[in-house]
């Protein structure tokens, strides 16, 4: 049978797609890139914001219209929080809640009586990531979160913390490496909490084992809560296989807003953490999340956030305008910020974030860095490759010979910046 996999939202959802693809392929089924070609279409939904839920609904309807003859399966946070509504949606054949999604391939095969074959029936070395145009694999190391930030609905949808065994994670990464993957991203709902439910395990110990027991060239982190990292964590980055970039969500630059959010990191602690990172690892890249217009956000608190962002120098900021979510404590907080003011503040922050991004990229010009090439295109008879540095900066370069560099790593000298596209220019001849 032909299976089409689609995800919205976080990198954890993408990691789950890869796990499902492995389960289906091990039973002899094939992953296809287009929904119209599939016998089964599976959507992993998101509900982190109201807009994410709306996107999930729209995509669900679109997938049904594209292929009404297929079996339509829905999972993820939106499907978990609104299970009855999703199940009643036209064309939906099966809803798999987050609590059961680790068994999704088996549930799908049982529900639709799909034939199975032994794993030897699958093509050796086949990797669905490449079929779906992906070059880095997202590795789910844990699920759930023990904290309750007042704005977050994901903890409701995902439940308690559950960590995967280190041996299972290592085995998955080694399998992906054998299939040609060069870069993995460790992901979860609460990545820094990895091992909280296991004996003698932590994110630190897991990374040490990955560096020891795998040969994958590049290891990254998805979003990691800044309060979870031990003082010696950045010593790990002495190994060049650990990429010098982390996404550390702060959510606000005002301590009083952070208290209302029930965040466990103050701005001074965040600055100290970044100082540790940048003192340990030259040119360390930090990105973050900021929520604009959290209930009660005063003009002074907003000015504190702008000053904080300007002082830190993030290379990228995911900016969210606050929207209340039923079932969260923040939905009942007093003094909501008017929509017009949220929009105004969001525009201000976008402008400041763009300045910081360009400043960071300009600092990369003149450096010599390794780049993982992910895409190529022809333009006016030239072959142009694009990829990402170890610091997760996008690079474009012209290749004058016919060598196929897809999914390979080259050391490049960064000679310029296309400011309109936010892409660094690399040259082989300059190395």
Domain ranges of the chain: 2-119, 129-363, 368-427
Angle, alpha carbons 262-263-265 (nearest 5°): 140
Question: What is the distance between the alpha carbons of residues 294 and 115, in angstroms, rounded to a whole number?
Answer: 51
With cut-offs at 50, 70 and 90, classify the pLDDT of residue 278.
very high
- pLDDT for 10 beyond 90: no
Question: Judging by beta carbons within 10 Å of its beta carbon (0-12, 13-18, 19+), is residue 156 exposed, middle or buried?
Answer: middle
Over the chain, what is the mean pLDDT? 92
Least confidently predicted of 120-124, 301-305, 349-353: 120-124
Q: Which CATH number fits domain 368-427: 1.10.3470, 2.40.50, 3.30.420, 2.60.40?
A: 2.40.50
Question: What is the distance between the alpha carbons of residues 424 and 371, in angstroms, rounded to a whole number?
Answer: 11
- pLDDT for 120 beyond 70: no
Of the candidates 392, 383, 382, 393, the one whose C-alpha atom is nearest the C-alpha of residue 416 is 393
For domain 2-119, the CATH architecture is 3-Layer(aba) Sandwich (3.40)
CATH superfamily entry for domain 129-363:
tm_1862 like domain (3.80.30.20)
> Mean of the pLDDT values across residues 359-386?
91
């Amino acid at each position: 049978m032909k299976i089409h996999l689609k995800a919205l939202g976080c990198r954890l959802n993408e990691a789950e797609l890869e796990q499902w693809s492995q389960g289906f392929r091990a039973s002899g089924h094939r992953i296809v890139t287009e929904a119209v070609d599939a016998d089964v279409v599976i959507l992993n939904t998101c509900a982190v914001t109201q807009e994410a839920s709306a996107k999930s609904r729209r995509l669900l309807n679109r997938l049904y219209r594209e292929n009404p003859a297929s079996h339509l399966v829905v999972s993820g946070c939106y499907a978990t929080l609104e299970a009855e509504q999703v199940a009643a949606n036209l064309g939906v054949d099966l809803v798999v809640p987050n609590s059961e999604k680790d068994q999704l391939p088996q549930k799908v095969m049982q529900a639709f009586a799909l034939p199975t074959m032994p794993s030897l029936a699958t093509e050796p070395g086949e990797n669905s990531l490449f079929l779906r145009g992906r070059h880095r694999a997202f590795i789910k190391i844990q699920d759930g979160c023990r904290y309750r930030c007042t704005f977050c609905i994901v903890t409701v949808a995902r439940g308690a913390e559950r960590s995967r065994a280190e041996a299972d994670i290592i085995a998955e990464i080694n399998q992906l490496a054998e299939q040609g993957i060069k870069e993995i991203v460790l992901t979860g709902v609460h990545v820094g909490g990895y091992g909280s439910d296991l004996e003698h395990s932590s994110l630190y110990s897991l990374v040490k084992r990955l560096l020891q027991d795998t040969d994958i060239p590049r290891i990254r982190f998805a979003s990691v809560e800044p309060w979870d990292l031990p003082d010696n964590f950045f010593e790990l980055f002495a190994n060049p296989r650990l990429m010098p970039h982390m996404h550390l969500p702060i959510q606000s630059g005002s301590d009083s807003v952070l208290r209302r959010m029930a965040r466990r990191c103050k701005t001074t602690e965040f600055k100290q953490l970044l100082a540790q990172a940048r003192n340990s690892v030259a040119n360390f890249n930090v990105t973050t999340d900021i929520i604009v217009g959290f209930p009660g956000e005063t003009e002074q608190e907003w000015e504190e956030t702008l000053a904080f962002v300007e002082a830190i120098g993030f290379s990228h900021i995911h900016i969210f305008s606050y929207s209340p979510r039923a079932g969260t404590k923040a939905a009942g907080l007093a003094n909501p910020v008017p929509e017009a003011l949220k929009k105004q503040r969001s525009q201000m922050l976008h402008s400041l974030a763009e300045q910081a991004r360009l400043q960071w990229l300009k600092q990369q010009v003149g450096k010599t860095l390794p780049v993982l090439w992910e895409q190529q295109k022809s333009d006016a008879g030239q072959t142009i490759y694009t990829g990402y540095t170890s610091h997760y900066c996008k690079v474009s370069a012209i290749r004058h010979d016919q060598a196929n560099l897809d999914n390979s790593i080259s050391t490049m000298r960064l000679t310029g910046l296309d400011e309109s596209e936010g892409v660094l220019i690399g040259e082989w001849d300059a190395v």
